[in-house]
Amino acid sequence: MDTKQSLSELIAQAIAESFPQAENLPSAGEIAGFLEIPPEKEMGDYAFPCFKLSRTLRMGPPQIAARLAEAIDAGDLCQARQMGGYLNFFLNRENFARRTLEHVLASDGRWGAGEEGKGKTICLDFSSINIAKRFHIGHLSTTMIGQSLRRIFDFLGYKTVAINYLGDWGTQFGKLICAYKLWGDRQEVERDGVEALTRLYVRFHEEAEKNPALEDEGRRWFKAIEDGDAEALELFNWFKELTLKDTQRVYDLLGVTFDSYNGEAFFNDKMGRVIDELKAKNLLTVSDGASIVDLDEEKTGMPPCLILKKDGATLYATRDIAAALWRKDEYDFDKCLYVVAYQQDLHFRQWFKVVEKMGYEWAKDLVHVAFGMISYEGQSLSTRKGHVVFLEDLLLNAIYKARSIIEEKSPGLENKDEVARQVGIGAVIYADLQNNRIKDIDFSWERALSFDGETGPYVQYTHARCCSALRKAEGLDPAEPDYSALSDDYAQELLRLLSRFPETVREAAARYEPSIVTRAVTELCKAYNKFYYENRILEENAGVREARVRLTRAVRDTVRTGLWLIGMEAPERM
């Protein structure tokens, strides 16, 4: 067996190879997913429920367990024993510690990295800010989920293309020009940037409720943009420039970068291809004056996909299909991920289906990575009504609050401002990526900035604790590690979590779920803190000390890697 495989992979492969003649046997990867942690220590370290193979092998679980126990040879790593209908595995704890730490430390800080993505490209469409609107907390999830997935796939060897699909087309820009012409002041807009534009946007909707004719005026100005009117384009491009300047400050704080800012306007002249292809393939039909693609609602549960309005205007679906075709031609992606809130699920299912009906087999490679909504201290957000928390304000406030906490807890700390930035930004990111992405999030200062429990500061503090212990160990005489000193339950739980980290990264990639990494890093930190309180790292016995120092170094490196994968920094002192 390959000694570079994780323990669960070794066990799963051994099980799969024990019935070489059997047909329809689950793969080693599937078997690894069936492995359980026994509820009692006396029952071993891992257990395989043999009833999972009963139907395939036509044998009772106890008979399967007995045969596996006799056939499996895991060398010096573990022993397999039948326990009823389960096959239970008991580790050789000393050898498991040696093997795990050798692998983690040999990875040079890249434990869990891989090359399975070599030669493959993944496009990630995320963040997708709206021009002339400030970056608000509602864009946090798409930005950080997308950034984390980009790093995870990079880590596994893929070429990634990060795309910020700008919301830079639509009647809202005509409304904004209308508002600016009626109430705007150029000096004020230059000074306050998008904040001034937001005030104008909010005022437009307030005034339009009293004077509906303003809506027609807004549509007239958008038509002027479409027709290339010089004044309309000058104002539109100015609004766009102010927005990108404003949002860049936020991206710099978050450490987020993009390869493309091609938004809706970029594809305005590329929709003809979509319309022509749909007509040529007899997919486009007219219904009540509008052009649609029928999706066979009885079978798919989806209503027709609207491609052109009665007046010939295109829609989001038309634009998204044009963008997908262009990206396939430009990047030849293996997957194209769309990190967009779950409310858009029907929209994506519809136009994905249209691409499939157009005959493109790569339609299966289009993936909607949905996520829940975010609220702030119990309040939902609405730009139109002015109920909004701007992300830059949130991040700067997080840094300020983190600085206050550091001043109280660590008054002698050097580089307080830098650490406050790392901790404050990290707290916001962690709060966003802590739970499954599909869950709605209510952001709370008290929870996010706590140093206790499952929070960003707690995880970062554990990393700093590891760094502190390693600094104290510098200069001590080197020794041969005594891995038997890592046979206690606290050390073994740490080693088990470390050994599973590569699988964790791959599971996060397969499920497009950064929270899997977040939770794994949190569990690793919790386990290390228990180990730290129960074991003296700088033990007088040199062999014991060396083993515990190596374990601490492996934890530090893996926590740092995990934090990087979710977009957080890892302070060395806190």
Q: Which of 52, 103, 136, 240 is catalytic?
A: 136
The DSSP line for 377-392 is TTB--BTTTTB--BHH
Which of 133, 175, 368, 526 is labelled catalytic? 133
Catalytic status, residue 136: yes
Q: How far apart are CA 441 and CA 231, in angstroms?
A: 42
In which residue are the tokens 């807009």 written? 189
Query: Of the candidates 119, 158, 113, which has an alpha carbon nearest to the alpha carbon of residue 505?
Result: 113
d(Cα 158, Cα 177) in Å, to the nearest integer?
Answer: 43
Beta-sheet strand order (sheet of 121-125): 159-163, 121-125, 335-341, 366-371
Which of 41, 52, 118, 139 is the catalytic position?
Answer: 139
517 contacts: CB under 8 Å, gap ≥ 6? 148, 152, 504, 505, 508, 562, 565, 566
391 Rama sector, left if φ>0, alpha if ψ -120 to 50, beta otherwise = alpha
DSSP 96-123: HHHHHHHHHHHTTT-TT---TTTT-EEE
**3-class SS at 80?**
strand
Listed in order, strand segments (DSSP E) in 152-207 are 159-163
Q: How far apart are CA 320 and CA 326, in angstroms?
A: 10
**Other CB atoms within 10 A of residue 345 CB:** 12
* Residue 133 known to be catalytic: yes
* Amino acid letter, 533: Y
CB 168 within 8 A of CB 240: yes
> DSSP strand E in 365-454: where?
366-371, 374-376, 441-443
Query: How many Å apart are CA 220 and CA 33, to the nearest integer?
Result: 59
Asked whether 323 and 314 are in contact (CB, 8 A), the reply is: no
| Beta pairing, strands 335-341 & 284-287 | unpaired
Tokens 């470390």 map to which residue?
A: 498
CA gap 77, 71 in Å, rounded: 15
Active site residues: 133, 136, 139
